Structures are given as structure tokens and as C-alpha cells.
Structure 1
Amino acid sequence: MGPSDDRMIGFPPTAETLVDLAGWQDAPNVRWAFRHMRELLPTHVIPAGPDHRPLTTALDPAVGATPVTRLDGAVTRADGVFADTWTDALIVLHDGVVAEERYYAGMTANTPHLLMSVSKSIVGCVAGILADRGSLDPEAPVTSYVPEVAGTGYGDATVRHLLDMRTGVAFRETYQALDSEVRVMERSMGWRPRRDGDPVGMYEYLTTLGTATPHGGPFTYRSADTDMLGWVCERSAGTRMAELVSHLLWIPLGAEQDADITCDPVGSAVHDGGISATARDVARFGQLLLENDGRIVPKRWLADSWHPGADVRAAFAGTDNEAVLPGGWYRNQFWFVPNARGTALVCLGIHGQMLYVNPATRLVGVKLSSWPDPQNPAYLIDTLRAFGAIGAQLSG
């Protein structure tokens, strides 16, 4: 695992080390790219406020030494799991206190890192706050906010379908297939070089999607659903996403550093995965979810997420996700993963981004990574097991 400074060497950078729009999501460029999104793509700033929430630190060597049984059956230490899974930043909070904080390969506490689909959970919280304030109705048709999608795949969907990724829109989240809808959407939103005929901008792309199955069926992970949700949020509030995240979450939770979100060629935010932030501020967001005091994110929104109806679990149980996260569910842009140490709320992003929140063990874990491949089930499960074991160890 090479350091991030082996990319973009020279003035200008050499051809061998150049990171550009065509290759920033590919190994060996991922580690550098995820820390330098502002140099690759246009972004909107998500301002932090003048006051930040202090993080008390009491490092505990028991964290790294915690035994973990990997997916392959081998028993190792937690620090071995993190070292072997391309970790860039690691923070563990227990009872709100920093019990572990490490940075790898040149990353620092002040380095913003791309969160990929952890961004979805932030957007989901924005939707929850707007719903609590009465400006967004989760049961309303999408077209009541965005009439432009009438007659498209989203024409008969509700906001609730978006929140739980249970639309029937024709959209394949197949990262290795360059012709899949997720890759076409990336070209439209400026994350990859545009091709002739591609829509210009993410919202224009969303209006081209058709229908594959009836809405309200099985859970199917579709990043497009979150982008549609972000569009709905912006329309309902009359404000763009960067300002919504700043005023509804980032400033109230006491974030220490500005975050940012990439935007497409016409200036629309990339809601499904475009936020970059420091690990410490992601930890603050996780602690907010753990405390669940209703001060920022409504209690009933999180209660609905933790305790959904049986249909939500059934929508998950009949999919391929059940084999990886047995007994889990997806609600309001959060994953939920039950195990013997209590159900964890988990925010996930490709290439190894994770926020882990377990009220039973009072643990918040943040792992920002640069896996060479978008998805790796063994890395995912080993990380979940590590955080679960650490929580059990620290909570006794």
C-alpha cells in the first residue's frame, strides 16, 4: 500500500503519476484522489460554523489489540484488520471520548476525504429535518416537487420510495460494467469524461430513466434514488444542498472544518456520494446519531429508521444483500446490521468508507479508506466485525 504522495509528481505532473478525470477512481490513483477532490472537480463549500464541538481524547491501547475473527476464519487484532484494508483514517469514540485515532499514508486530522455514499446518509438526515419542519412530505409523489420527471421512471414514485431505495427505476449499480447506468450517470455529472449523447448534468440524466419493476418492491441499491431525493430536498427548501447540509447539520453539530460537495457541469450537487469531510467531523456526525437527543435530527425520524415496518425488512431479506448482512435492513438512507453485540446503524461508501454507530456498546467508529476496488465483501465484513468486537471490549 503505497503512500498518497506517489501521485501527481512534478511541475507539471509526469504522465506516469498523473491523476485525471478518466482515472481518478482507479488504482493506484484512488488514495490521492479521495483527498484532493477540489483539484479534480468543481465543488460547493459546506461551511462549518465559528464554534465546534470539542472531542475529548483518552487513547486506549485495548482498541488496536482487540481480537477479531475475520471472514476467512483467521483470528487477528483489530489494528491488523485496519492496516490490511487500505485505511486512510480511523477514529473510535466510546461514550463520546476518542479511544483511538490514527492516520495512514500521509493523511492528517485536517485532510478532507471523499465519503462516497456515506453522503447518502447525510442527505437522508437533511430530508428528515425538512420533513419534521413540514416542508417535505415523505409520502408525497416525487412529481409534486419535481414535475419534470412526470412520465419517466420516477413519475409514479413517492419520496418514501426514494428514501428506502424501493423505486422500480431501471438503474444498474454495477461498477465494473462501463455501460451500466451508474457509469453513464457519472459521465453526465462530470465524474468521468462525457461521451457524445450523454445528458449534460445529473438532473437531466435522471429524466431519462425508465421503469424496470413496480415501485415499492424489493430494496435495490440505486444511487440515482438519492440524487432524485437531493433534487426533491432542494426544491422543497428552495436552497441548494451545500447550504442545507451546512445550516441543518454541519453548523449545529459543531463541525470543525468546512466540508464540500462536488457539483456537476451545471452546478447541481452530487448528492449520492460527493461530500468530502474530515474523519473527526464524520465522528461528530456519528456521535450525534448515537446520542439521538432530537436537537438536530428528529427523534421520530431515527426511531422510524431503527424500528421500521415488517415490509422494510422483507424488502431486504429477499435480496443478495441478505447474504452479506443477514437480518439487516435499509431505511431512510441508512443500513442496519444486527449481530450479537447489538444492531448497528451503518453508513457505507464504496472503496471502504464507513460510519458505524452502535447504541448497545455506545461506540462510534469511522473508517475512511482507499480500497483499490469499489467493493470488497471481505474487507466490509472484517471491518464490521472489528468495530463490533471493539465495542464489546470497551463496554465490557
Structure 2
Amino acid sequence: MAHVGEGPTHEGVGIHNWRLPPYNRWAFWHVKDILGTTEVKAATVASPLSPYAGGVADPLAQKVVRVDGTESTPRDILADTYTDAFVVIHDGALVAEWYGPEGAPERTHALMSVTKSIVSCVAAALVDREILDVSIPVNAYVPELADSGYAEATVSDVLDMRSGVRFREDYKDPDADIRRLALCEAGIYSYLTDLKAEAPHGQRFLYRSAETDVLGWVCERVSGLPMAKLISTLIWQPIGAEFDAEIITDTTGTAYHDGGLCATARDVARFGQLLLEGGTAVDSAGAVGTVIGPRWLRESSTSDAESLALFADSPAGISMPGGWYRNQFWFRPGGFGDVLLCLGIHGQMIHVSRRTRTVCVKFSTWPEPQRPGDLQDTLRAFDNVGGVLSGHYLRGRNPRLPGIASGVNRHGVASRSADIKNL
């Protein structure tokens, strides 16, 4: 199902306000009209998304308990959380698809930090080809980092965000490193070389976008190719992406590896299906091929005492109890088993449940970079969608996730709510 409505105009949207409401409603669908980007080429022939045969109750209509204790439905939660688009796939079949104002199946949308997980898979493909060794220090691949805080941090350290480098990821502070990195006139690589260490490498988990930019730099250096080409050749074309994507670039033409990719919801769902299938994808002829070796995702999805402890001691441990972070992926205990997540600010996400064989994609334009209540409500909604589609859902049983705070306010948009509820 698809709906395309009237959206805001582009008047007044520019480089300094494109992430801010109300401009982001238009801007996230039109990034290449605002910022410098490089094209990420799709497959010559797209892999098909099979139609869903049905046979179960409406997965968007079943009851789910929000973080504030009220009862709702996935459809209402999507309507109340600034959704721009969503796609649901079960066992490779397209179950549901919806687009809000400015959206369309062929239109790309900003993915923000969902990009990190895609860059992770680029690294995985290079490891498979024995071009990259994650146990080697990043400065061995990129000598420019030898005098920075990243000296002697391994590729694995940056993959798991365990370097000791000082980098403030405060999206609301204009003086924080995350903002300075985005606006550095000399380019992101220049900024990375000036970062300093504040702790030993490998002894903490702390989410910082600079780690992924270092990882992307390493991938480009060992391959001799720019990130746009790497994503296209190693990921986008092998998964049978239907539409070209684009990645935002800095003043030097370098890609923002940490959050610059813009892609269509359908192709992001195809990427989610790659993760669900352990690194394999079906091409246009129906043949199954390996895109990344199974070891990468198997190791990522296996928690150990150290990864759980480091995560629990981090700020993320409060909002995602029992979770962990490995190889640029988030993992969280869900209502129907552990869930792999790819997350980006302003409400971008991929929810992959292996137990329920379900992939859910959501594009959003939250008015703030982070909205914990909206995130947790959406994760619960997607848990239940997978439960319904797989037959695991038990009516009247909506397990609350431990440690999630209640009493979080939400603010929906009436016109968008009506559109989603009419699905």
C-alpha cells in the first residue's frame, strides 16, 4: 500500500536548518537538492519484493502497550511518531508500505546513522576478500592518524566504538564535536587527525560517530575506492537495490561515513533482508548469493559478558537494558527474541527479528534528534508486528521491556495520523 500526499515547500531550507523542524519534513526527502552528494549506483536489474499472500490478522491493528502504560496499536504508534515512510517484509514478502508527504517508493530519504551499519557491511566484505584485518591498528592503514588519539586503536575498536578517543556526541550543543565535524571546512579527515585520547583503547563502549568515519577512511584506503563506489559494488548492487542512493560529502568530496547515506525505503528493506538472511541475498533471477560471509553477523549477534557489561555501563545501557553493540549494529532483547537494530537520529531505523522472520523499516522526521519514548514505542510496535506475522503473538500478552521508563510524552500530527490509520 502506498500514499503520497502534499508536503511543505522547500522555501527557506538550507545547509544550516535542513535537520530542523519544520524544514526537515521536506529536506530529508530532498537532501541532494541541498547538500553535496555522490551517487551510489543500484543494480542493473532489481531483486523482486514478492507480494504478501496474507492469511493472518492485520499486523498493524493488534494491541501493544506503550512505555507510558497505555494500550495502542502499531498503526497508531506509527501515526504518532512523525513517520515519513515505513515498509514491512515477512519471509521476503512485502506486507505493508506507506509514504507520507513528499515521499514515494522511488524517492531517497536521509538515513542518518543507519549508514553506519551499511559501512560495517562494506568492512565485512573487505575482510572476506582478505583486504582488511580488523585486528590491525587503524594508523597502520591510515598513517595520518599516527599522531592522533586513534594511534594504536584497532579496526575492531572503532567497529565496536571502544576507542579511548575524546569526542562529544551531543546533537543539541553547537560546540560539540559532532557539530564541529559536520561543519569542518577542512573536511572530516582533517578533523579526525586532531582528536585526542582520554582513555585506553578497548576498555569502554561509548557511541561516537567519529569511530565510523575512521572506519570508512580505513576502508577507502585499503581498497583504493571511495565509499560511494564501495557501497555500490559490495552491497547495493549485490542485494539487488532498485534505485540509486546518494551519500553526503564534505567540502573535499569525502563521504560522511557516519550518517550521510540517503536511500529508498524499499532498498533499505532489502538491506534489512540481507541482515536477516545472515549475509545472503536473492538476485533478480532468484539465485541466492553471499554478499558478506556469515561469520560477521554471527559474531555481531552473539553477546558475551564483556560486551554486555561495557554496554550496561554506558549511557545506552539505561535506554536499552540487556542490549549490546557490535560491528556498528545495535542489539536489544525484544518481545519475541533478540532484535538487530540499525538506528539513526530523527527516527530512522531498521528492525530485524530473526525469530519472527520480519524486517521493519521506518523513516521519520522527529523534531528532535532523539526521542526515547517514540523510539521505544516504535520498537514495541515492530516487535508485535513480527509476532503477528510469525504466529508468535499471543492476544492479551504484551510483555513490557524491563527498565523502560514510563510517563514519556508523545506529540503526533493529525493529518499524517489519518493517512496511516487509513491503510
Instruction: Identify the TM-score tier after normalising by the shorter chain.
Output: over 0.9
- The alpha-carbon distance between structure 1 residues 293 and 130, as it changes in their structure 2 partners (threshold 3 A), is closer
Structure 2 residue corresponding to 1:388, chosen from 383, 404, 410: 383
Partners of 2:104 and 2:87 in 1: CA distance: 12
For 1:59-70, list aligned pairs within 5 A.
62-70=58-66
Partners of 2:106 and 2:51 in 1: CA distance: 16
Which of structure 1's runs of 4+ aligned residues deviate more than 6 A? none
Structure 2 residue corresponding to 1:322, chosen from 317, 327, 343: 317
Output the amino acid matched with 1:360.
R
Worse overlay, 95-104 or 287-296: 287-296
Q: 1:18 is matched with which residue?
A: 12
8 Å Cα contact 1:4/1:32 also seen in 2? no
Deviation per residue, 1:201-249 (Å, 9 max, x gap): 0000101111121111221010000001000000011111001000101
Q: 1:228 is matched with which residue?
A: 214
Q: 1:360 is matched with which residue?
A: 355
Q: 2:240 is matched with which residue?
A: 254
- The alpha-carbon distance between structure 1 residues 131 and 308, as it changes in their structure 2 partners (threshold 3 A), is farther
Structure 1 residue corresponding to 2:293, chosen from 289, 293, 298: 298
Q: 2:8 is matched with which residue?
A: 6
- The alpha-carbon distance between structure 1 residues 179 and 275, as it changes in their structure 2 partners (threshold 3 A), is same
Using the TM superposition, give the Cα deviation of residue 105 of structure 1 relative to its aligned residue in structure 2, in angstroms: 1.8
Q: 1:343 is matched with which residue?
A: 338
Worse overlay, 153-162 or 290-299: 290-299
Partners of 1:42 and 1:319 in 2: CA distance: 34
For 1:202-213, list aligned pairs within 5 A.
202-213=188-199
8 Å Cα contact 1:112/1:279 also seen in 2? yes
Q: 1:133 is matched with which residue?
A: 129
Output the amino acid matched with 1:25.
R
Using the TM superposition, give the Cα deviation of residue 155 of structure 1 relative to its aligned residue in structure 2, in angstroms: 1.1
For 1:96-107, list aligned pairs within 5 A.
96-107=92-103
8 Å Cα contact 1:63/1:99 also seen in 2? no
Deviation per residue, 1:331-372 (Å, 9 max, x gap): 000000113411010000000000010000111000011111
Partners of 2:303 and 2:383 in 1: CA distance: 22
SS at match of 1:151: coil
Say if 2:259 is the partner of 1:283: no
For 1:264-275, list aligned pairs within 5 A.
264-275=250-261
Q: 2:373 is matched with which residue?
A: 378
SS at match of 1:216: coil
Task: Give unmatched runs, 5+ long, in structure 1.
Answer: 9-16, 189-198
Output the amino acid matched with 1:271.
H
Q: 1:161 is matched with which residue?
A: 157
Q: TM-score, normalised by structure 2?
A: 0.87
Deviation per residue, 1:316-341 (Å, 9 max, x gap): 01112112111100000000011341
Partners of 1:360 and 1:56 in 2: CA distance: 20
Using the TM superposition, give the Cα deviation of residue 314 of structure 1 relative to its aligned residue in structure 2, in angstroms: 1.5
Partners of 1:264 and 1:47 in 2: CA distance: 19
Q: 1:193 is matched with which residue?
A: none
Q: TM-score, normalised by structure 1?
A: 0.93
8 Å Cα contact 1:63/1:100 also seen in 2? no
Structure 2 residue corresponding to 1:36, chosen from 9, 20, 30: 30
Task: Give unmatched runs, 5+ long, in structure 2.
Answer: 281-289, 392-423
Partners of 1:75 and 1:238 in 2: CA distance: 53
Using the TM superposition, give the Cα deviation of residue 7 of structure 1 relative to its aligned residue in structure 2, in angstroms: 2.7
Output the amino acid matched with 1:142.
V
Q: 2:85 is matched with which residue?
A: 89
Partners of 2:279 and 2:212 in 1: CA distance: 26
SS at match of 1:287: helix
SS at match of 2:272: helix
Aligned residues: 376
